[in-house]
């Protein structure tokens, strides 16, 4: 966000401070081993990175384009594949978090005249007029005061909370937030896969306990994101490396959940679809076999749905996970966050161009409306998908299988989905 603001034309006279609790990593060396925290970056986010000059840096380091995506499940044979053959565009890019952070850090240091980054500094307390106890009756136009852990006091016209799902800014601003614990954990790891010359496919299989996904990092390595119950997650983390590899392969290949009734109905339905859409045959590819796992790369984190009812208040704005946090099953969370960044910097640019105070609610609420319109449908869809695939109840399996097969047959619907996910 700070980088985007630093690049914004009309904000060049404004003073921007970024409080970063981590130390500055001046000597970043790209490690040979891949990190287990990655993001699936959409084309729209690539556009943002290009605007701030970070994309070239990322390309120089490393990232893997995804040209094709295959999603299927364990209870039936229905499958959906996404590829953007006509437009020759990549669907997404898998980039490690560390690589993105380093690219942005380099850009920030080149903007040091406009953006001041205070590393190893975090805010100890916030005084937000109208929200903080003791300041309830203060005019909401009064500036926000922040006290850092180093005792510095900063007064600002606009406080942007980009501090993640447990946002302190959100709490200080007394934003009402809708929370639901999914009671699942996402297990991540770096996997070594059987060498395919072109590891550019993203694989996701829905199991009744949660989806398992493999995202390509290079021709030999892929990133694993396996959503499952907390007990299973602990079990997986405690396994020996070999046994873990077997568990992953088994999750992708096993046929134990197959429901025979559903299978026969869906097969007949598929024959019908093949007849009607004869030029759009189902092409089912097989995911690569996992041959190894990077030692020490296994980790897990809990999953929940968080959505703040408001993204803004006078002089405060929330972006990214602080405003909305979703299930990772569609890889949309981080892209929505980057969408917030683009939108907010554009709105602030407009505000300054009109001579307005940057903390003015008129412009901030424009940001909120636009982003809620983009975020809420995605949140609801993903939440819905999570519940749809979280069961092995036959009627539901049948419904979702037929639905998936139908969608797979309709190229224009898939194109729409790709378009939506890329924006």
Partner 1 sequence: MFSKRCICRIISTSRLGSQNKRWHSNHARPIAQSTIDEEEREKFQKLSHTWWNETGEFQALHALNALRVPWITNSLVEKQDQPPPLHTKPLLGLQILDAGSGGGILSEPLARLGANMIGVDMVEDNIRVAQTHLEEDPSICGSVKYIQATVEDLVETNEDAFDAVVASEVVEHVSNIDTFLTSCCKIIKPGGSIFLTTINKTALSYTTGVLAAEYLLRLVPIGTHDWEKFISPEDLQFLLDKCGFSTTLIHGMMYNPLTRRWSWISNSSVNYGLHAVKLHPQTSETSSKENSTDSVERSD
Of 133, 134, 151, 355, which one interacts with partner 1 (CB under 8 A)?
355
Per CB under 8 A, 419 contacts partner 1: no
**Rounded to whole angstroms, how far apart are CA atoms 379 and 324?**
8
Of 243, 362, 419, 423, which one interacts with partner 1 (CB under 8 A)?
362
Stretch that binds partner 1, among 70-78, 248-256, 350-358, 380-388 (CB under 8 A): 350-358
Of the pair 127, 188, the CB lying nearest partner 1 is at 127
Stretch that binds partner 1, among 10-18, 26-34, 182-190, 221-229 (CB under 8 A): 10-18
CB of 137 to partner 1, least distance (A): 13
Per CB under 8 A, 151 contacts partner 1: no
Site string for partner 1, 289-318 (x = CB under 8 A): -------------------------x----
Of the pair 104, 312, the CB lying nearest partner 1 is at 312
**Rounded to whole angstroms, how far apart are CA atoms 323 and 321?**
5
CB of 158 to partner 1, least distance (A): 13
Of the pair 140, 420, the CB lying nearest partner 1 is at 140
Cβ of 291: how many Cβ atoms within 10 Å? 13
Of the pair 129, 211, the CB lying nearest partner 1 is at 129
Contact 316, 169 (CB under 8 A): yes
Sign for the pseudo-dihedral over CA of 258, 264, 265, 271: positive
Task: Give the side-chain half-sphere CA count within 13 A for 98.
Answer: 15
Per CB under 8 A, 353 contacts partner 1: yes
Stretch that binds partner 1, among 6-14, 40-48, 263-271, 414-422 (CB under 8 A): 6-14
Of 152, 196, 360, 394, which one interacts with partner 1 (CB under 8 A)?
360
Per CB under 8 A, 121 contacts partner 1: no
Of the pair 362, 393, the CB lying nearest partner 1 is at 362
Stretch that binds partner 1, among 8-16, 114-122, 168-176, 211-219 (CB under 8 A): 8-16
Strand partners, 38: 96
Per CB under 8 A, 10 contacts partner 1: yes
Of the pair 23, 355, the CB lying nearest partner 1 is at 355
Binding site for partner 1 (CB under 8 A): 9-10, 12-13, 139-143, 157, 314, 352-357, 360-362
């Amino acid at each position: 966000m700070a980088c985007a603001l630093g690049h914004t034309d009309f904000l060049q006279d404004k003073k921007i401070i970024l409080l970063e609790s981590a130390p500055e990593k001046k000597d970043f060396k790209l490690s040979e081993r891949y990190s287990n925290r990655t993001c699936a970056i959409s084309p729209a986010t690539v556009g943002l990175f290009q605007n701030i000059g970070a994309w070239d840096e990322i390309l120089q380091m490393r990232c893997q384009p995804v040209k094709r995506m295959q999603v299927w499940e364990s209870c039936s044979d229905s499958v959906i594949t996404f590829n953007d053959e006509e437009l020759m565009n990549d669907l997404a890019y898998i980039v490690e978090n560390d690589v993105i952070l380093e690219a942005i850090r380099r850009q920030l240091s080149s903007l040091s005249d406009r953006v001041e980054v205070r590393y190893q500094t975090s805010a100890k307390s916030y005084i937000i007029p109208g929200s903080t106890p003791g300041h309830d009756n203060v005019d909401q136009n009064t500036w926000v005061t922040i006290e850092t852990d180093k005792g510095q006091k900063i007064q600002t016209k606009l406080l942007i909370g980009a501090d993640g799902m447990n946002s302190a800014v959100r709490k200080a601003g007394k934003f009402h937030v809708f929370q639901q614990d999914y009671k699942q954990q996402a297990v991540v790891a770096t996997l070594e896969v059987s060498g395919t010359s072109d590891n550019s496919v993203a694989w996701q299989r829905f199991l009744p306990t949660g989806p398992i996904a493999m995202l390509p990092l290079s021709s030999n390595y892929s990133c694993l994101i396996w959503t499952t119950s907390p007990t299973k997650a602990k079990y997986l983390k405690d396994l020996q490396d070999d046994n873990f590899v077997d568990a992953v392969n088994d999750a992708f290949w096993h046929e134990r959940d197959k429901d025979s009734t559903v299978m026969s109905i869906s097969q007949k339905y598929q024959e019908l679809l093949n007849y009607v859409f004869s030029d759009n045959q189902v092409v089912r590819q097989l995911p690569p076999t996992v041959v190894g796992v990077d030692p020490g790369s296994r980790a897990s984190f809990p999953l929940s749905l968080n959505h703040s009812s408001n993204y803004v208040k006078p002089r405060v704005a929330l972006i990214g996970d602080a405003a909305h946090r979703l299930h990772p099953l569609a890889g949309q969370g981080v892209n929505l966050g980057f969408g917030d960044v683009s939108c907010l910097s554009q709105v602030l640019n407009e505000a300054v161009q009109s001579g307005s105070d940057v903390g003015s609610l008129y412009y901030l609420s424009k940001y909120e409306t636009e982003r809620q319109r983009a975020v809420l449908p995605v949140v609801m869809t993903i939440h819905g998908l999570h519940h749809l695939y979280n069961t092995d109840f036959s009627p539901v399996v049948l419904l979702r299988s037929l639905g998936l097969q139908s969608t797979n047959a309709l190229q224009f619907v898939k194109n729409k989905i790709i378009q939506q996910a890329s924006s």
